[in-house]
Amino acid sequence: MNKNYKNNKYNIIFIIFIIFFISIIIFFYYKYTKYIENFNVNNNDIEGNKIYCFWTGDNEMSSNRQKALEDLRNISECNVILVTKNNLNKYILDDVPLHPSYEYLSETHKADYLRTYFMNFHGGGYSDIKKTTGSWTNSFNDLKNSDYWICGYKEIDGGVAYGEHVDKWRELIGNVAYICKPQTPLTKEWYNEMIELLDSKLEKLKENPSKHPQDSFNENGSKYPIEWNEMLGRIFHKVSYKYKDKLLNTLPISIFENYR
């Protein structure tokens, strides 16, 4: 009798613990999803200088990322729009659907894909979810009132991903944030080279889809077929150097520390 009583007591305690643990998970998930849903509510999605940011998965956005997003909105003095899987479709053109490889990409590479898509077809601003060091208003105006095609911050030594141009960093702009005019030869070539790469990787991606948000080829033995900077950095710096006379570098630089 005593033994059964003890067993029942432990079972009840265990059940209470499980319920409590699940409640905590639900609370934080609800808090996180509400943050994502509500971020754009106070933004005007029609008027103003737009900066697009992307959060492509179901993984939770850290408090550092949330603070960086708020900081970007406040300091840039622009309309920061957070694009997630819940509002993505409104930006995808009917005659230019997502590439069939998109569903197999890591969350990081999905964001790389989307920034390229948006800068080519929509234009406007893009930023990683990182803090910025100043207002973007003047940079939007500088680009608008010029014959330049893209405005970014001055690249830093060691920031160039394309091997042949690593020593050309003084002539390039960085790849973390920029403002683009849509449908320029630069954005078209940038987008088309990415699509060519994804066409060549499609079958391998089907066989080895991403297993975590930052998956990349050969990272911890991963067979996911795309290297970390293969899909964006190498292409962006290769193409942008070709059109270096169309690069404007007046954008405030991003802050690269403590953002995760």
Tens-of-pLDDT digits for all 260 residues of the chain? Answer: 555 555 565 666 666 667 665 655 555 555 555 556 666 755 544 468 999 999 999 888 899 999 999 999 999 999 999 999 999 999 999 999 999 999 999 999 999 999 999 999 999 999 999 999 999 999 999 999 999 999 999 999 999 999 999 999 999 999 999 999 999 999 999 999 999 999 999 999 999 999 999 999 988 899 999 999 999 999 999 999 999 999 999 999 999 988 87
Residue 256 inside a domain? The answer is no
Looking at the structure, tell me whether residues 69 and 25 fall in a common domain: no
Looking at the structure, tell me whether residues 6 and 70 fall in a common domain: no
Looking at the structure, tell me whether residues 172 and 221 fall in a common domain: yes
Looking at the structure, tell me whether residues 233 and 132 fall in a common domain: yes
Looking at the structure, tell me whether residues 78 and 31 fall in a common domain: no
Coil, helix or strand for 152?
strand
Residue 257 inside a domain? The answer is no
Going by the DSSP 8-state scheme, the letter that residue 1 receives in this structure is -
Residue 253 inside a domain? The answer is no
Q: Of 195, 61, 46, give the one whose Cα is nearest residue 116.
A: 195
E runs forming strands in 84-201:
124-127, 150-154, 173-180
What letter represents residue 106's amino acid?
Answer: S
Coil, helix or strand for 149?
coil
Residue-range definition of the domain harbouring residue 12: 1-39
Going by the DSSP 8-state scheme, the letter that residue 36 receives in this structure is H
- Count the domains in the chain: 2
